[in-house]
Chain A
Amino acid sequence: GDSVTQMEGPVTLSEEACLTINCTYTATGYPSLFWYVQYPGEGLQLLLKATKADDKGSNKGFEATYRKETTSFHLEKGSVQVSDSAVYFCALFGFGNEKLTFGTGTRLTIIP
């Protein structure tokens, strides 16, 4: 079945550092890929998405590129801020089963 493996946290970085959170997936066919973010006390919010190979999703300075050859969708940001502290979930939408499958989540803490 579909699965998502993402970098285990927690991850602690200083403000303005570069961020990469790794995500790889296993799926039948060509899934859509997502990054969700969960701020403290809030629900999951869609951060960015990519629906086909080589697509790059971007939002709020975050980027991720759909790499079919490596089955990856790594999340990157060039300069993180304290306000980026949250839990980040990689997910895929499998068109075979029409469901979202999530990774375990990565807690990111940015210190001033």
Chain B
Amino acid sequence: GAVVSQHPSWVICKSGTSVKIECRSLDFQATTMFWYRQFPKQSLMLMATSNEGSKATYEQGVEKDKFLINHASLTLSTLTVTSAHPEDSSFYICSARVQLSSYNEQFFGPGTRLTVL
């Protein structure tokens, strides 16, 4: 099946620094990618929807200047957490949507665990 990779798988950074997370679709082209955030024992919360070549659409309550999303190609989307603070510590998961015959399916990356000290 289709594979989505994320890099890094985990990162520890100091408060105030910025962190970039990459999401790649390895064997397919994804016109739409999604970024989710997952707190311990909680649901995946959609942060934003990213379409190749256009600005991301952010969910209500997600700061677009805090979480910068770039979808520069059909196989790569990046999430940059700017001026990270401890409350940004979380598990970030990306997903890529592809159209298969009669329906769309989303494939998920393995996630990136961010810890801000």
In the complex, which residues 94-111 of chain B have their Cβ closer than 8 Å to any Cβ of chain A?
95, 103, 105-111
- Whether the pair B44, A102 counts as a contact (CB closer than 8 A) is yes
| Contact B108–A104 (Cβ < 8 Å) | no
A43-B43 CB under 8 A given contacts A51-B103, A100-B106: no
Shortest CB distance A32–B (Å): 8
Residues on A with beta carbons closer than 8 Å to the beta carbon of B42: 104
In the assembled complex, which residues on chain B have CB atoms less than 8 Å from the CB atom of A4?
Answer: 43
In the assembled complex, the CB of B113 is this many whole angstroms from the nearest CB of chain A, namely 11
Chain B contributes a number of interface residues (CB within 8 A of A) equal to: 20
On chain A, the residues within 8 Å of B106 by CB distance are 46, 100
Judged by DSSP, the binding face of B is: strand
Report, as a range, how many residues of chain A touch the other chain.
10 to 19
Q: Give Cα A102 to B34, complex, Å.
A: 14
Contact in complex: B111, A43 (CB < 8 Å): yes
For A32, list chain B residues within 8 Å (CB). 103
Contact A44 B46 (CB under 8 A): no
